[in-house]
Structure 1
Amino acid sequence: MSLFLRDGFDAALSALPGVSFVDQWEARVAKVGGKVFCLLSDSAPHRLVFKCGEESFDILTALDGVTQAAYFAKRQWVSVAAGSELSDDDVLAYATRSHALVAKGLTKKLRTELGIV
């Protein structure tokens, strides 16, 4: 199931520890510990936005269909269009990595409460 569809987005990301979902900013937003790690735009063309590291940012933004995410911290968030050069498996791997990057910034106590090792 594709992450670019709401059902696929929810199903794939709900498998990660401590994830909650909200609808805000005209998007389906996945959070860990109350912090955004991925979002899916509500309107077509659908886009995914997620956090990435510096090296990944440079690699990803060189691909067709991937740009720096508007309104997010510079050089840490990308926006991926449905139909980009990334495979569904790659998009899921990057979204999972985004979860880990954001969770790393949570307190140890909160990570423990959320079941994040």
Structure 2
Amino acid sequence: MTYEEFNDFCGSFKVTSHVVQWGDSHVWKVGGKVFAIGGWGKAEKPAFTFKTSESNYHFLSEKSGYQPAPYLASRGMKWIQQFDVPGDEDEELKYYITESYRLVSLGLTKKKQKELGLNQDG
């Protein structure tokens, strides 16, 4: 996945915002909270960082091309960075970014969720 494809995909989610910060990283937020980062570091290949469930965190931490996210994971947060995988894993990356969006939006206050029209039943 290229950064352009990453930005297009993240921009397809409801009520997101995009900023470039932290050394020219593409940072995507929902309700003001980060759910995905494209870039971050000096790697030659694209790197993508996202929040995961605890089980996915442990699984991906051991998988080739993935690592606990620099800075975030060292503070006990369940964030993973994909940094070196074949392009045929784009669908897998999209799944994890989608899950990150879901996890972060569920972590917003009920009031914020309602304001944004997120995670509402019925």
Tell me which interval the TM-score lies in, with the shorter structure as reference length.
Answer: 0.7 to 0.9
Match of 1:106 in 2: 108
Gaps of 5+ in 1: none
Q: Count matched residues.
A: 114
- Aligned-partner Cα distance in 2 for 1:32–1:60: 23
Do the aligned partners of residues 52 and 85 (structure 1) sit closer, same or farther apart at CA in structure 2, a change above 3 Å counting?
farther
Q: Please say if residues 64 and 85 of structure 1, whose CA atoms lie closer than 8 Å, have aligned partners that are also in contact.
A: no
Separation of aligned partners in 2, 1:98 and 1:78: 10
Once the 2 structures are TM-superposed, how far is the Cα of residue 54 of structure 1 from its aligned partner?
0.9
Any stretches of 5+ residues in structure 2 without a counterpart?
none
Q: Assess, with a 3 A threshold, how the Cα gap between structure 1 residues 56 and 84 changes in structure 2: closer, same or farther.
A: farther
TM-score w.r.t. the length of structure 2 is 0.84
Q: What's the TM-score, normalizing by structure 1?
A: 0.87
Q: Is the 8 A contact 1:63 1:84 kept in 2?
A: no
Tell me if structure 1 keeps the 8 A contact 2:52–2:96: yes
Displacement after TM superposition at 1:108 (Å): 1.6
Alpha-carbon distance, 1:97 to partner: 0.3
